[in-house]
Structure 1
Amino acid sequence: MSSKKQRSKEMTTKTNNETPEALSHIKRAHGIYFTSKVLLGWIIKLYFNFRSKVYRPKNKSFILISNHTTMFDPFFEALSFKPYLRFVTSDHLLRMGAWGKFIKFCVNPIPKRRGADSEKTMEMMAESVRNGVSVCIHAEGYCSINGETGFVSPRTGQLVKDSGAGLITFRTVGGYFKDPRWAKHSRRGRMRGSVVREYMPEELQRMSVDEINEAIRRDIYINAYEQQKKDPHKYKGRALAEDLETILYLCPKCHAMGKTHSHDNEFSCECGYKMHINEYGFFEGDSLVFDNVLDWDKWQKSYVKDNLALWHSFTEKPITSDEKQILNCIEENETKELFSDNCTISIYDDRLEFVDESKGKKVFMLSDIVKMSMGGETKLYFTTSNGFYYEVGSHTRRSSVKYFALYRVLTGREYL
């Protein structure tokens, strides 16, 4: 028997063995899912000012792929589809004590570990679809940082093709301005969601993996600022600029890193450059370099990539650092082993260092970090070559994006 057939047989056997338990969890989640939609659906739509037409898919089981703008997107997608959907979610939510256990019990999500290999997640998704349970994923991996749909992994198209199921693409509009990933407070304003297209299994089998990936990227793409210019809507709230330094870490005037600060509606750099955000999500002020977050973020990405030689000169002095950090090692059973809850993180040309005055220093060579990702406003996750998985939190407002960007560039990885 060929190795390919052997793997297929093993996977089928595994699926069949796990089906009774899986169906038990899904049956419970089914009941909670539909009861919640009936009791809470209208409240969610009213509170978030969300509107969409309920879609009845032609496919019995399918993979739903949507853009990702807010942490509440699963609620909106559930309310937009008639059948039960099983969601892929970041595993850090399941580590949130009682709340994490509640989510796991009620929703039965498929966990995805940030900054780590996603093979197990892909297998669980494929198994779910084979058992007739539709799955929803946000192909970008995390909420949009700057208002534009992010990178979609090429593996997504392969997953869709291999599943043998249908594909539905869905797009939400307004979510980025209503609840920006970086913002301390959400805003009041409208959100809309709609199905872009449903692809039948036969059609997908005729398409190449590249064609499927291109269709997904095209269907879920949105530039929130271009959309806002074409069809402007106000998003009112308090402290509209608060925590923006978690995303915009590089000043376009003085080029200093980690010197930007927010207060109420104002955003500024220590060099004196300042502006404020209006209710349409745009910057206002004198001598603006950029009038929106997206253009600013694109510039800082280019700046980091274009100055690789400069970053490599930081062998003894850190490129950037932040105090009052929390470093945890996440065990296989999802428990945390604390290294420090008050250390300083520093990144150099070849390493990432954590220094605790009472516990000493922990050094990770960048070449030994195999994957890195971000979560929430300030969380940073990474996996080392020896299989250890780490989570970095912060007691202060600091950017995880700058560490992620420098890691990608310094290790020769693509940074889009």
Structure 2
Amino acid sequence: MNENRARRRDRRRARRARRRIRAPRHVNAVLRSVIGPTLKWLFHIETENRHMVHQLKPPYVLIANHACFLDPLMVNCQINAPVHYVVSDANFRSRLVGFALDLVGSIPKTKAMSDLETVKNIVKVKATGGIIGVYPEGQNTWDGHTLPIFPATAKLFKALKIPVVAAKVQGAFLSMPRWARSYRRGRVVISFALVYSAEQLKAASVDEVHSGISEALEHDEFEYQRRTMVPYRGKNRAEYLEIVLCVCPHCHSIGRLHSRADTLSCESCGYQVRFTAYGFFESGNGRPLYHATIRSWNLWQSDHLRRTAQQYAAAQLCDPLFEEARVSVRIGYKSSPLEPLERGRLQLYADRIVLLPERRGEPITFPLRDIEGINVQNSEHLEFYARGSLYRVTIDDRRGNTYKWNLTVRHLQHCCSA
């Protein structure tokens, strides 16, 4: 079984190395003429300084803040030439989605890890005079605020020696939050700006380039919303919010929040808030409003999980910190289709993740020191590399929170390395 899996992996690696990155202009023209007007109508998209990108001759790098699932299409439809986006290789595991991404010239990239093959493909696109689309955060935001930029991004841009253009996307997070199952109608504004010309990029240091692109993409959706106060109308606005928010600010219980329609409640203490059409919380039952925004709540809960992880690791307890009663685990590698591995109960300890199979087999242990590139894919799947393979964990409960696992594993890894 393992030998067959290894042979399939080698064949897929070879196919990936032979992948040709190309995007026919007629395909891009059809997408812009069909999808562009639809997105503009659905999300009320407006642009600022769009003429600048029309006047700039490729090759150049187009960077953007990753606010929602659809913002690559929103941005691409504003540009007259194809954009070769760097895309998580997880999206290529589906043959249909992979075919569509190949059709528009997407460049596969392993999430949260360095990938030399991706750099080679980026250089190929530059050589053909194409536009390279990069999301320097590496994933779309959980709370409406720009995530930290990967330091290696600035080094890559310095090496490419071509202009860098920023598209700041505002309003897209509240239009389609990462945790939501439906969109809301409000307004999206895309602002274009030239961050660096080729000459400016050459003269700047790596640290200056990093600061420049970070500043160009810096965005807080709720600070922006306080200035604009655009209503984002839709049904069940709080539904599935427990996918990102997992700690009650009143009783500090973890994993006891539950959403319904426009409200988020704690099943332990009864604390309740209402999520309004303007994207802010209101107190739902007369208790204090601890956090007015998802951003504020998420910052507080991340710090709470960090302190909880530190205390748990120091106490050397035998019981797990977290546990999921029913999960399914699949195994694969990069863009290869995943294969079922096991179903069972997942437990998190100070130094390891343990899978207890439903069938009475031996527990499968993943030492935290062996785990690399841990991230959440599509808001629900926990993915990480260990022992040369990719593992994907899916919680049976659709409201299960893998985000808290991602945060806490990182905190525990930091505790172990400190």
TM-score (norm 1): 0.89
8 Å contact kept, 2:22–2:102: no
Judging changes above 3 Å, is the alpha-carbon distance between structure 1 residues 97 and 200 closer, same or farther for their aligned structure 2 residues?
Answer: same
2:375 corresponds to: 373
**CA displacement, residues 300-320 of structure 1 (integer Å, 9 cap, x when unaligned):** 111222344322135421111
- Alpha carbons of 1:273 and 1:160: their partners in 2 closer, same or farther (altered >3 Å)? same
Cα deviation for residue 115 of structure 1 reads: 4.4
| 8 Å Cα contact 1:350/1:365 also seen in 2 | yes
Moved more, 111-120 or 365-374: 111-120
* CA positional deviation for 1:299: 0.5
Segments of 5+ residues of structure 2 without an aligned counterpart are 1-16
| Matched-pair identity in % | 25
In the alignment, the residues of structure 2 paired with residue 37 and residue 215 of structure 1 have an alpha-carbon distance, to the nearest angstrom, of 30
Cα distance in 2 for partners of 1:139, 1:244 equals 25
Instruction: Please give the alpha-carbon distance, in whole angstroms, between the structure 2 residues aligned to 1:267 and 1:26.
Output: 45
Asked whether the equivalents of residues 35 and 77 of structure 2 are also in contact (C-alpha less than 8 Å), the reply is no
> Is 1:294 equivalent to 2:290 in the alignment?
no
* Contact persistence 1:165–1:201 (CA under 8 A): yes
Rounded Cα–Cα distance in structure 1 between residues aligned with 2:326 and 2:61: 41
Find the counterpart in structure 1 of residue 156 from structure 2: 159
SS in structure 1 opposite 2:54?
coil
Aligned equivalents of 1:314, 1:248: Cα separation in 2: 27
Residue from 318, 322, 325 that aligns with 1:323: 325
- What one-letter code is carried by the residue in structure 2 that aligns with 1:138? Y
Matched, 1:191 2:149: no
| C-alpha distance in 2 between matches for 1:134 and 1:191 | 23
Aligned to 2:389: 388
Determine if contact 1:65/1:167 at 8 Å carries over to the other structure: yes
* Structure 1 residue 250 corresponds to structure 2 residue 247: yes
Q: How does 1:336-347 map to 2 (within 5 A)?
A: 336-340=338-342, 342-347=343-348
Letter of the structure 1 residue corresponding to residue 403 of structure 2:
V
Aligned partners of 1:234 and 1:306: how far apart in 2? 36
SS of the counterpart of 1:383?
strand
Contact 1:321 1:344 in 2 (8 A): yes
Which residue identity lines up with residue 109 of structure 2 in the other structure?
Answer: K
> Which secondary structure state, in structure 1, belongs to the residue aligned with residue 414 of structure 2?
coil
- 2:12 counterpart residue number: none
**1:346-361 correspondence runs (5 A):** 346-358=347-359, 360=361, 361=363
Q: Aligned pair 1:168/2:165, yes or no?
A: yes
Which range is displaced more, 282-291 or 88-97? 88-97
Query: Equivalent residue for 1:4?
Result: none
| Paired residues of 1:373 and 1:381 also in contact (CA < 8 A) | yes
Measured after TM superposition, the shift of residue 331 of structure 1 is: 3.6
C-alpha separation between the residues in 2 aligned to 1:60 and 1:123?
18
User: Which structure 1 segments of 5+ residues have no match?
Assistant: 1-17
Shift of 1:213: 0.8
Aligned to 1:305: 306
Three-state SS of the structure 1 residue aligned to 2:347 is strand
Give the TM-score normalised by the residue count of structure 2: 0.88
- Aligned-pair CA distance for 1:47: 2.0
Asked if the contact 1:197/1:219 (under 8 Å) is kept, the reply is: no
Equivalent-residue separation in structure 2 for 1:310 and 1:139 (angstroms): 33
Which sits farther off after the overlay, 31-40 or 145-154? 31-40
* SS of match in other structure, 1:229: helix
Deviation at 1:201, TM superposition (A): 0.7
What SS class does the counterpart of residue 412 from structure 1 fall into?
A: helix
Deviations 1:276-308 (A, max 9, x none): 101001111131111111001011111222344
Following TM superposition, the consecutive aligned residue runs of length 4 or more in structure 1 with deviations greater than 6 angstroms are none
Contact 1:59–1:200 at 8 Å: present in 2 too? no
Alignment of 1:14-163 (within 5 A): 22=20, 26=22, 29-52=24-47, 53=50, 55-98=53-96, 100-163=97-160
Contact 2:310–2:412 (8 Å) recurs in 1: no
Which has the larger displacement, 198-207 or 356-365?
A: 356-365
Structure-2 change in CA distance of 1:332 and 1:220 (3 Å): closer
Provide closer, same or farther for how the CA distance between residues 156 and 413 of structure 1 changes in structure 2, counting only shifts above 3 A: farther
Aligned residues: 390
- Residue identity matched to 1:257: I
| Equivalent residue number for residue 281 of structure 1 | 279
Instruction: Give 1:83 shift.
Output: 2.3
Could you give the per-residue CA deviations for residues 205-261 of structure 1, whole angstroms, max 9, x where no partner exists? Answer: 100011111011111111111111111010011111111111111111111111111
2:402 maps to: 400
With 217-226 and 312-321 compared, the bigger mean Cα shift is at: 312-321
Aligned partner letter, 2:194 = R
- Find the residue that maps to 1:381 and give its secondary structure: strand
Residues 115/216 of structure 1: CA separation in 2 closer, same or farther (3 Å cut): closer
